[in-house]
Amino acid sequence: MEEEYDFETLAVRSGIHRSQFMEHSEALYLTSSFVFESAAQAAARFKGEEPGNIYARFTNPTVTAFQERLAALEGAQACVATASGMSAILSCVMGLLSAGDHIVSSRSIFGSTVQLFGNILKRFGIETTFVSGADVSEWEKACQPNTRLFFVETPSNPLMELSDISALSTLARKAGAKLAVDNCFCTPAIQKPLELGADIVIHSATKYLDGQGRVLGGAVLGSAELMEGVRNFLRTAGPTMSAFNAWVFLKGIETLKVRMDAQSKAALAVATWLEAQPKIRRVYYPGLPSHPQHNLALRQQKTGGAIVSFEVEGGRDAAWKIVDSTRMISITANLGDTKTTITHPATTTHGRISPEARDAAGIGEGLLRLAVGLESVEDIIKDLSAGLG
């Protein structure tokens, strides 16, 4: 479908290629391989002279439909679907970089991404310099002649720090690097990194694109030329998305906009309430005027998003008391669900980082991360109040 349609329309109608049965809902093609009409056709397909499916590690129509739909929403020429968010990040790097290349990355990124860049890629001769996501001058200083990739997550987890996508894209271009943005927290319903100048968008589809906590998946998006490298890695190495998961994501994306709107609105209400509580020291939410980068949030995001972090007075005991007093909210490290989830980062997602590094990153023992779902705001607030008394 063409760009003349609005986001809401593209979310439910792009990527549909009906079979001879003219099904209305997106078909799920559970097949690992495809048959050819003749030996000549098989040869033509393998040579790339004739378009069409060969084997599901290369393409599958349900996965293709997911790729087209997400590409339409991000405004990307091409999308490559992967088995998980982490395999999206790995495939991006393996497709575009080589030994001897250098990455500049925000320090405030998903824990497994830190391990991938800092430990695993290093063994293969790709070095990463970690800098502050919010301070563009640090990125400039970190650039080397072999810098090929800028990597950022905005807003960051769990402190909701923003990076200026447009400023970083200008700097990346000057440095001869590509800017990749992990758009997991916002999704294209809230933020469109390619429009702001980024070269690559990365997703953990596991979170808001599914939205209902069912399956793992990921995606890399960008120009057809850049995605060719990523696709070649994926076809050969194999961390492809399953057709079943692609089908779940196709249906999840149909409600993305209404979910993100409703969950953002609820998050703002909860954040506003939290800020008024005497035992809450600080609330981290880009949609609040008290957020130090609120103006940047207004520039590059449509809403503040659905994730709110807050620091409670009294350290770990006080934070755990809130977690353990909830009766409805799910205690889980996951996010992006219609069910509200609560996490104590210092002892879970960020528990393996040294206490000194955690302190330096500002992730205190009293910090909690709340991913606001679709329950009523009143019930969410009531559940949080129980442990605040």
Ligand X SMILES: *Cc1c(COP(=O)(O)O)cnc(C)c1O
> How far lies 340's CA from each of 17, 138, 154, 211, in Å?
35, 35, 21, 11
What's the closest the beta carbon of residue 87 comes to ligand X, in angstroms? 7
Q: Measured in Å, how far apart are the chain's first and last C-alpha atoms?
A: 53
Asked if 29 is part of the footprint of ligand X (rule: CB under 6 A), the reply reads no
What's the closest the beta carbon of residue 6 comes to ligand X, in angstroms? 27
Gap between the Cα atoms of 87 and 77, Å rounded: 20
Coarse DSSP helix, strand, coil percentages of the chain, rounded to the nearest 5 percent: 40, 15, 45
What's the closest the beta carbon of residue 274 comes to ligand X, in angstroms? 22
Select the span of 159-167, 199-207, 305-313, 371-379 touching ligand X (CB under 6 A): 199-207
Q: Which of 207/344 has CB closer to ligand X?
A: 207
Asked if 341 is part of the footprint of ligand X (rule: CB under 6 A), the reply reads no
Residue 346 has what DSSP assignment? G
What's the closest the beta carbon of residue 106 comes to ligand X, in angstroms? 11
Residue nearest to ligand X (CB): 85
Select the span of 60-68, 203-211, 291-299, 372-380 touching ligand X (CB under 6 A): 203-211
341 three-class SS: strand
Q: Which of 84/240 has CB closer to ligand X?
A: 84
Based on the number of CB atoms within 10 Å of its own CB, is 113 exposed (0-12), middle (13-18) or buried (19 or more)?
buried
Taking residues 303 to 332 in sequence order and writing x for each that binds ligand X by CB under 6 A, - otherwise, the string is ------------------------------
Select the span of 33-41, 201-209, 289-297, 372-380 touching ligand X (CB under 6 A): 201-209
Gap between the Cα atoms of 170 and 255, Å rounded: 34
Asked if 286 is part of the footprint of ligand X (rule: CB under 6 A), the reply reads no
Binding-site member from 91, 206, 301, 303 for ligand X (CB under 6 A): 206
Residue type for position 259: R
Q: Which residues contact 373 (CB under 8 A, 6 or more apart)?
A: 263, 266, 306, 337, 338, 339, 340, 341, 380
Asked if 187 is part of the footprint of ligand X (rule: CB under 6 A), the reply reads no
Asked if 207 is part of the footprint of ligand X (rule: CB under 6 A), the reply reads yes
Q: Which of 14/84 has CB closer to ligand X?
A: 84
Cβ(218)–Cβ(190) under 8 Å?
no
> How far lies 305's CA from each of 99, 288, 330, in Å?
37, 11, 19
Q: Which of 67/206 has CB closer to ligand X?
A: 206
What's the closest the beta carbon of residue 37 comes to ligand X, in angstroms? 38
Asked if 153 is part of the footprint of ligand X (rule: CB under 6 A), the reply reads yes
What's the closest the beta carbon of residue 370 comes to ligand X, in angstroms? 15
Residue type for position 33: S
Gap between the Cα atoms of 173 and 163, Å rounded: 16
> How far lies 108's CA from each of 105, 158, 175, 208, 221, in Å?
9, 8, 22, 20, 22
Site for ligand X in 93-132 (CB under 6 A): 110
Tell me which residue has tokens 């999206």: 88
Based on the number of CB atoms within 10 Å of its own CB, is 52 exposed (0-12), middle (13-18) or buried (19 or more)?
exposed
Asked if 184 is part of the footprint of ligand X (rule: CB under 6 A), the reply reads yes
Helix 243-254 × helix 256-275 angle, to 10°: 70
Site for ligand X in 213-272 (CB under 6 A): 216, 218
Asked if 84 is part of the footprint of ligand X (rule: CB under 6 A), the reply reads yes
Binding-site member from 68, 101, 182, 199 for ligand X (CB under 6 A): 182
Taking residues 53 to 82 in sequence order and writing x for each that binds ligand X by CB under 6 A, - otherwise, the string is ------------------------------
Q: Which residues contact 337 (CB under 8 A, 6 or more apart)?
A: 211, 212, 213, 330, 371, 373
Q: Which of 153/383 has CB closer to ligand X?
A: 153
Binding-site member from 27, 86, 94, 168 for ligand X (CB under 6 A): 86
Q: Which of 199/383 has CB closer to ligand X?
A: 199
Contact footprint for ligand X (CB under 6 A): 84-86, 110, 153, 157, 182, 184, 204, 206-207, 216, 218
